[in-house]
Amino acid sequence: MKREMIEKCVVTLVLVACWLFLPAVGYTNGDTENIKVHLLYIVSHANVWHLAANLLCLWLLWRKLYLYSSLVIAFLASLIPAFSIYGDVGVTLGFSGVLFAIVGTKWGVYCRICKQTHIAQWKNALSQFMIRILPFALLGILIPHVNWCLHTYCLLAGFAYGWFRR
């Protein structure tokens, strides 16, 4: 079995087990002293639909997941202040930050490879990232109770990691 399939199965089992047996744990904006909640928010979900949506996105991803680096990115991004047009961001929880970091990393790697091989293809790859991917993170600003800042931070940090990773 391929590594990616094993990672997806393990992540699915962990997320489902945490949803079934542990209380939902999330962090609030500005709470940087309680590191435990910044570690646990990733495996907590608000409800079964939230969990199902994150797992669907996980299983739709192809090839290498960059899972470990994306977990670190999602943790670090949770320490950055966030804001919402609806007032307080509220409690943040869920695996979507990791998913955005994975997608960002994949695009960063893709753009770096394109730049090394064909400069014109690199410009096209970068513009496709800006047109196709970045709006998904930014559109979250319009949805109440979605920490679009975390999604954007994770996506851009993942992209930078993928770009500079050797």
Quick: pLDDT tens for 48-96: 999 999 999 999 999 999 999 999 999 999 998 888 787 777 888 999 9
Q: What pLDDT sits at residue 161?
A: 97
Domain count, the chain: 1
3-state secondary structure the chain: CCHHHHHHHHHHHHHHHHHHHCCCCCEECCCCCCHHHHHHHHHCCCCHHHHHHHHHHHHHCCCCCCHHHHHHHHHHHCCCCCCECCECCCEECCCHHHHHHHHHHHHHHHHHHHHHHCHHHHHHHHHHHHHHHHHHHHHHHHCCCCCHHHHHHHHHHHHHHHHHCC
Q: Which domain holds residue 63?
A: 3-164
CATH of the domain at 79: 1.20.1540
Could you report the per-residue pLDDT of 23-38, keeping only the tens digit for each? 999 888 777 788 888 8
Q: What pLDDT sits at residue 76?
A: 95
Could you report the per-residue pLDDT of 101-139, keeping only the tens digit for each? 999 999 998 888 887 777 767 777 788 888 888 888 888
